[in-house]
Amino acid sequence: MTHTKSNSANQRTGLWHDLRESLTDSERDFTRLKVGRAILLLSVPMVLEMVMESVFAVVDIFFVARLGADSVAAVGLTESLLTLVYAVAGGLAISTTALVSRRIGEKRADRAAATAVQALYLGTAVSTVVALPALLFSSDLLRLMGASQTVIAVGGGYTRLIMGGNAVVMVLFITNAVFRGAGDAAIAMRVLWMANLINIVLDPCLILGLGPFPRLGVTGAALATLLGRGFGVAYQFHLLARKRGRIKILREHLVLQWRLIGKLLRLSLGGIGQALIATTSWIVLMRFMARFGSQALAGYTIAIRVIIFTLLPSWGMANAAATLVGQNLGAGRPDRAERSAWITAAANMGFLGLVALVFLIVPEAVITLFTADVVVIRFGSLSLRVIAAGYLFYALEMVLAQAFNGAGDTRTPMWINLFCFWLVEIPLAYLLAFGLDRGAAGVLWAITLSESLAGAVAFFLFKRGRWKSNQV
């Protein structure tokens, strides 16, 4: 009995120790630890990183919702456009994580540092190209998305600022991808927490004009975002320049390396393709939803923010799988890479399954936290309930897609997205919403069915195992 109690105490102590270690700058070799422990040490800070991103998304829309449905609609339409930036940033982040994690697994930290610098050069160049038309044609972009003149008048400044300053979003994404690929997940977590805490504090001040701050309305939300994330980028650069940690940027790494940039570009194409296919389909769906009025669009936008709140922690677990797959393949341990992905997928399905129950049973209680508009609540609740029906499939697909990406096989998830979102989701949404007169519910059911199909296809292809022989 005494021996049993001692073992139980040691297990509790070990778990507590691992949780504390996961939040520090651990120098562990994740290719040598037990798989479960490696997942824990990486996923805890990655989940917390995404939790803060989720909190920011909800807090941001909470204050914007105080301004009315037109302001919320302006944010929703702008974010549909911003997803194009996220697509490119996400694609570059995917290739960066794949290459950095593979080099770390091979014990070639110097090459990992060189990869980080070239990725940042590439991201900065792309963000400049995006910023110029956004600064000049923000109102036209909103009009193209189907915004009314009222929405354009309210949200034009928001669109101009958030799209024109997209470089801070791009650089923040890529640099945190460097840290995650290297296994420095706690650093990425601290960066995002600092950036978003600044953002959360500034949001009510700049949106509502608290104290000495001017009342900027929805434009204040954009300014708060850029300031918060700008401070985060400055902190990232400070960390990369220091002489500690797995990634150390030295003077010799600052030289342009066109061959490495070419490799990043080739690998990024699949990742950018994944995101562009998903996000362009998202834009089309937003365009469909806009045809049902500002209140339907506002309810849908609030619901999507809440959904992001629950999915981003899951992306933390998926990112842990990508890092472990990449590092273990670099260390020549493909079976361990596969086991890491399956264990992470099971954990993610358990988490999102519980969240789905809440959204299926009491969605109104969630949406009511953000608005008192009865029509907005009705559309938001419908969105939560329908989309939550596919949560288990989402959980599986997001982990397996990131596992493919971590292996450097960015094309397989791209083809899955192309089939499920362009060839299934968009035609199905149009058919259900307009052809069969199901309205907004038709768009929502198209999302759930196509995302569930993506999960099933990813399971089948990952099981085949061809990704194990991918070279990067």
User: Residue 7 pLDDT more than 50?
Assistant: no
Report the pLDDT value the prediction gives residue 5, as an integer from 0 to 100: 47
Q: What are the φ/ψ torsions at residue 23 (nearest 5 degrees)?
A: -95, 5
Dihedral (CA of 83, 89, 91, 94) sign: negative
Report the pLDDT value the prediction gives residue 243, as an integer from 0 to 100: 62
Residue in this structure with the two tokens 């073992």, named with its chain if needed: 7
Range with top average pLDDT, 22-36, 227-241, 269-283, 308-322: 227-241
Which residue ranges make up each domain of the chain? 31-469
Structure tokens at 60: 């941001």
Mean local confidence (pLDDT), 130-137: 82
pLDDT (tens digit per residue) in 382-433: 999 999 999 999 999 999 999 999 999 999 999 999 999 999 999 999 999 9
- The model's confidence at residue 100, banded by pLDDT at 50, 70 and 90, is very high
> Whole-prediction pTM value?
0.80
Other CB atoms closer than 10 Å to residue 262's CB: what's the count? 11
pLDDT (tens digit per residue) in 162-181: 888 888 988 998 999 999 99
pLDDT (tens digit per residue) in 16-46: 877 788 878 767 778 888 888 888 888 888 8
Task: Find all residues with CB under 8 Å of 176, minimum gap 6, and list them.
Answer: 49, 93, 188, 191, 192, 236
Cα separation, 323 vs 329, in Å, equals 10
Cα separation, 322 vs 33, in Å, equals 16
Range with top average pLDDT, 61-65, 110-114, 156-160, 244-248: 110-114
Other CB atoms closer than 10 Å to residue 398's CB: what's the count? 25
Report the pLDDT value the prediction gives residue 325, as an integer from 0 to 100: 94
User: Residue 124 pLDDT more than 50?
Assistant: yes
pLDDT (tens digit per residue) in 205-229: 999 998 889 999 888 988 998 999 9
Rounded to 5°, angle at Cα 246 from 470 and 173:
70
Question: What is the average pLDDT value for the chain, to the nearest integer?
Answer: 87
Nearest to 253 by CA among 375, 100, 105, 367: 100
Q: What are the φ/ψ torsions at residue 362 (nearest 5 degrees)?
A: -130, 55
Nearest to 425 by CA among 439, 445, 406: 445
